[in-house]
Chain A
């Protein structure tokens, strides 16, 4: 039975990840991403047989306590990205709309809700959850989405409420969030019917922070010119920091990836041949158009060297302190990019513009993700004022391919590149 599941998963994963092959850089020795994802999903799929529990968790939710309890975390949003990349988003969203969900609802939520009711989607659907963990540090949508799923699967739901830190992490917020972590541990104890394992948690936390440091180092190799990788590569490699941070295999994987990138830097190999222009990407990738976009930019000698999305999984490292790991955990999860004020977001973007030395900013106004997209016009204005670089806004949706107009987006990108090239020529004169 297990063998059958494995074989089946393998075919499906080759299918969905094959799409990324074009822009993944090959590197030796360690297990490939595909192998690791196959093992991960097959373990989750066979949890019923192995007596393990499965928790569905939001992408910004604290996963470390789950790992400490031996619970397998599953990410509907990561799955949403897979749905998007396999161009199944439109069909699933249509199904959700027929069920009565508004077309304005996030496409990850629509696709996941629809997918749960059918025997389809990539991997023939996600493994059924034993519990749900929802942290609203990324958005308010997840609250209702997880409530819907908790009713549908009839399983317990834990909600971790993280107030928005417009400017700072006040003592009140710290106390409030910290106390919920105790409730979270108690929730896991009752779901697993055993004591919470604090020692394991410390081990997992250590590895999780270590992974985040590694991930940041990998992303920082793109400060080199030419950049050894593009944001499209980062979008691919991020799957592990999202789903499996805190596990030893991921540390091995990222250590090898970092070595490969460093080697490329030493040998002066750029991800985009003849890199001339360096760009920064804001918002979730347009999963169904990764190949098209990566070729579009590369054809203009433009390399997307960094993005605000993949760096969200290590952007809060500065708040980690060794003294009290659980306090740190609370702070780190509360101060993530989507849970801060627009001015703070703009500051982070400006810091990235300087760090990666970019010539322009590309903002994906993502119809699905309101918390990510609503401040973009202000951010654009601030960036234009403070750094004077051209900004481009493209309107699309991360997983619903029905919201994408190729010729219109193509014109906008061409016009944006014309401005960048003109500026370069003028500055040369």
Chain B
């Protein structure tokens, strides 16, 4: 049975194709201003990647903030449920997921069957999300992709105490002016995001093993800072960004 999962996030749209419980293909594109068109486009592109025609796909599940604009989906689930399914598919032992996306971050607690037991979301504030890192990368004039590698060189992360993105940005600028090392400032930024996320995670009572998903999972500096803060090992999903779409395709097979 062939199924598809489509995850329309606020910044990127993701798609995944499953065949008989195996992942065939994935695709990521920018969502742009038209979520409906992005859904169509990412679906067509992932089909191209897998060399398949629409007619072969039996079931489609949509997820993400734009889930209701995917009109051709058979069903939609929230990204909470899909992230849980995706992580469970990749590693059935996972009990907690930390997902840090572009606009929000969330922590999901799973039961022994991989079902969602509880979740908590931070979506009111940019601090603790990918957006925070983007703002900081601009202030630092460093490419965001280099953040991870640079920060692990740091011996003495700078202290960034502001909880607010705007205040933290001016703090960073004053650290630059003071002549602090770049890698230290970046490591400090990662520690600050880790502090934010760990206080949110504390609200659901996280259980090991933990998996991190979402675009920010690719930043090794954030992962290390979080591991240090939480005092536990964190498994990075090999499909961090498309984990929700994978979960959706997985759930579609159960329809």
Contacts and interface: CB of A to CB of B under 8 A. Distances in A.
Interface stretch (A205-213, A265-273, A280-288, A410-418): A410-418
Given A377-B203, A405-B123, A390 B118 contact: yes
B72 interface: no
Interface in B77-92: 77-81
B65 interface: yes
A343 interface: no
Contacts of A426: 115
A216 to B, nearest CB: 33
Contacts of A393: 120
Given A395-B124, A422-B115, A422-B116, A415 B203 contact: no
Interface string B81-106: 10000000000000000000000100
B119 interface: yes
A395 B203 CA distance: 15
Given A418-B77, A418-B80, A412 B116 contact: no
Contacts of B152: none
Nearest to B77: A418
A321 interface: no
B107 to A, nearest CB: 12
Interface residues of A, number: 17
A418 B81 contact: yes
Interface string A251-276: 00000000000000000000000000
Given A377-B203, A390-B118, A422-B116, A408 B81 contact: no
A422 B115 CA distance: 8
A377 B205 CA distance: 12
A412 B81 contact: no
Contact of A384 (B77, B118, B119, B120): B118
Nearest to B104: A408
Contacts of B123: 405, 408
Nearest to B79: A411
Nearest to A418: B81
Question: For the complex, would chain A's binding face be called helix, strand, loop or mixed by DSSP majority?
Answer: helix
A419 interface: yes
Q: For this complex, into which size category does the number of interface residues on chain B fall?
A: 10 to 19
Given A418-B116, A419-B116, A426-B115, A412 B203 contact: no
B29 interface: no
A414 B116 CA distance: 13
A395 to B, nearest CB: 6
Contacts of B57: none
Nearest to A392: B119
B121 interface: yes
A407 B116 contact: no
Nearest to A422: B115
B65 A418 contact: no
Contacts of A377: 203
B80 to A, nearest CB: 4
**Residue from B78, B81, B123, B203 whose CB has the most chain A CB atoms within 10 Å:** B78
B78 A411 contact: yes
B121 A408 contact: yes
A175 B77 CA distance: 57
Contacts of B121: 408, 411-412
Contact of B78 (A390, A391, A395, A418): A418
Contacts of B78: 411, 414-415, 418
B124 A415 contact: no
Contacts of B80: 411, 415, 418
Interface string B113-134: 0011111110110000000000
A174 B120 CA distance: 42
Contacts of A415: 78, 80-81, 116, 119
Contacts of B118: 384, 390-391, 419
A221 to B, nearest CB: 32
Contacts of A407: 65
Give the residue among A393, A411, A414 with the most B Cβ atoms within 10 A. A411
Interface in A387-429: 390-391, 393, 395, 405, 407-408, 411-412, 414-415, 418-419, 422, 426
A405 B10 CA distance: 14
Given A418-B116, A419-B119, A422-B116, 19 more contacts: A390-B118, A393-B120, A405-B124, A408-B65, A408-B123, A411-B65, A411-B78, A411-B80, A414-B78, A415-B80, A415-B116, A415-B119, A418-B78, A418-B81, A419-B116, A419-B117, A419-B118, A422-B115, A426-B115
Closest 9 A/B residue pairs (Cβ): A415-B80, A415-B78, A408-B123, A414-B78, A418-B81, A411-B78, A419-B116, A407-B65, A422-B115
27 contacts: A377-B203, A391-B118, A405-B123, A405-B124, A408-B65, A408-B104, A408-B121, A408-B123, A411-B78, A411-B79, A411-B80, A411-B121, A412-B121, A414-B78, A415-B78, A415-B80, A415-B81, A415-B116, A415-B119, A418-B77, A418-B78, A418-B80, A418-B81, A418-B116, A419-B118, A419-B119, A422-B115
